[in-house]
């Protein structure tokens, strides 16, 4: 099977497996991205996320992460549910101008099964399929679990462009999706990088409650609500409590206001769809949550990352601003 045939076959199989996009790029050193990452780290915009300083060489060159790598195969898997977005944007849940809390909200990506499991299951199948056609295959699959600059590879493989909020935007899927990669020693026909279609729009910058988007295409992670409610292990700084809005895990504000998300196609993967018991719950429901119930409720779910104490901390941080 020649390179063109292999590329077409792998792309078709990715679609069959439920990925909404599959792109191919040559494994090489990310020179521009390395320079930007170094500057971002030196400015301390990663906050307490010290792990982002580790393995810089592997993060910027996949050939050092996977010896012998020749290609990065990027995939896109949507979790978008239009009805859910409408519910979250309803003013009964959040008065954006006053930043007053009605009901606590969990970021939409974390309402279904943990995406790490879902995408890896599909990627392992895609890997074995590619291996069977290629007469063997060496490499690894990744889903936000190693020093891989997944956004950079998504852009290079044509899956989308980096928006001013630093999320990847796809013409059909908006930004409501997860990314995964296969870094392998096979050679494919490579896609052209995606072009930027944000234009003069600054809605994500204007809407950010904590001014974390300090300039177009640059986010100060140490000010982001997602950082406060997921990554930070200490108490959330008091000066940010009234800016957290309804968010007790993650934040979707910059994506909610993005025009490209208005017509985003629904995601097809049922394992990523929201579970009813996590949606539209009030303070009383979450107040009564104990450790055992937390473990049951968030088993194989991204919210477990914040741990029980962190979840309760987040809830208490927004309580003083509820209606």
pLDDT in tens, 151-186: 999 999 999 999 999 999 999 999 999 999 999 999
Residue 10: per-residue pLDDT: 98
Query: In the chain, where does the domain assigned CATH 3.40.109 lie?
Result: 3-80+112-184
pLDDT at 321 over 70: no
Angle 3-16/115-134 helices, nearest 10 degrees?
150
Strand order in the sheet with 139-142: 21-26, 71-78, 177-184, 139-142
C-beta separation of 137 from 186 below 8 A: yes
CB pairs under 8 A, 24+ apart, for 237-244?
A: 240/210, 241/317, 241/318, 241/320, 241/321, 242/99, 242/320, 242/321, 243/99, 243/209, 243/210, 244/99, 244/209, 244/314, 244/317, 244/318, 244/321
Q: Which two tokens stand for residue 197?
A: 């279609």
Mean pLDDT value of segment 32-46: 81
Q: Mean pLDDT across the chain, nearest whole number?
A: 91
pLDDT in tens, 199-234: 999 999 999 999 999 999 999 999 999 999 999 999
3-80+112-184 placed in CATH 2.60.40: no
Instruction: Give 188's pLDDT tier (boundaries 50, 70, 90).
Output: very high
The catalytically annotated residue of 144, 185, 191, 256 is: 144
Does 144 participate in catalysis according to the annotation? yes
Termini Cα distance of the chain: 63
Give CA–CA dist 175/78, Å, rounded.
8
Give CA–CA dist 323/315, Å, rounded.
14
Instruction: Give 42's pLDDT tier (boundaries 50, 70, 90).
Output: confident
DSSP string, 62-77: HHHHSTT--EEEEEEE
Of 98-107, 184-193, 222-231, the least confident: 98-107
pLDDT at 110 over 80: yes
Residue 39: per-residue pLDDT: 81
Q: Residues of the chain with pLDDT > 70: what percent?
A: 92
């Amino acid at each position: 099977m020649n390179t063109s045939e292999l590329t077409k076959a792998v792309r078709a199989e990715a679609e069959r497996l439920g990925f909404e996009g599959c792109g191919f790029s040559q494994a090489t050193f990310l020179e521009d991205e390395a320079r930007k990452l170094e500057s971002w780290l030196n400015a301390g915009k990663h906050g307490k996320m010290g792990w982002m300083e580790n393995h810089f060489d592997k993060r910027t060159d996949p050939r050092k992460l996977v010896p012998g790598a020749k290609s990065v195969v990027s995939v896109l898997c949507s979790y978008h549910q239009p009805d859910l977005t409408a519910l979250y944007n309803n003013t009964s849940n959040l008065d954006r101008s006053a930043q007053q809390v009605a009901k606590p909200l969990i970021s939409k990506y974390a309402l279904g099964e943990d995406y790490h499991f879902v995408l890896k299951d599909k990627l392992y199948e895609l890997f074995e399929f590619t291996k069977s056609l290629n007469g063997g295959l060496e490499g690894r699959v990744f889903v936000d679990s190693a020093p891989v600059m997944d956004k950079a590879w998504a852009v290079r493989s044509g899956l989308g462009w980096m928006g001013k909020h630093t999320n990847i935007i796809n013409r059909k899927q908006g930004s409501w999706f997860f990314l995964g990669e296969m870094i392998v020693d096979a050679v494919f026909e490579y896609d052209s990088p995606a072009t930027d279609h944000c234009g003069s729009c600054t809605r994500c910058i204007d809407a950010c409650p904590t001014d974390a988007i300090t300039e177009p295409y640059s986010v100060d992670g140490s000010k982001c609500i997602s950082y406060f409610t997921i990554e930070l292990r200490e108490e959330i700084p008091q000066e940010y409590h009234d800016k957290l809005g309804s968010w007790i895990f993650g934040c979707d504000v910059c994506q909610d206001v993005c025009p490209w998300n208005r017509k985003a196609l629904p995601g097809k993967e049922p394992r990523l769809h929201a579970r009813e018991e996590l949606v539209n719950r009030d303070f009383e429901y979450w107040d009564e949550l104990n450790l055992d119930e937390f473990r049951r409720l968030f088993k194989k779910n991204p919210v477990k990352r914040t741990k029980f104490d962190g979840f309760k901390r987040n809830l208490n941080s927004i309580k003083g601003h509820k209606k």
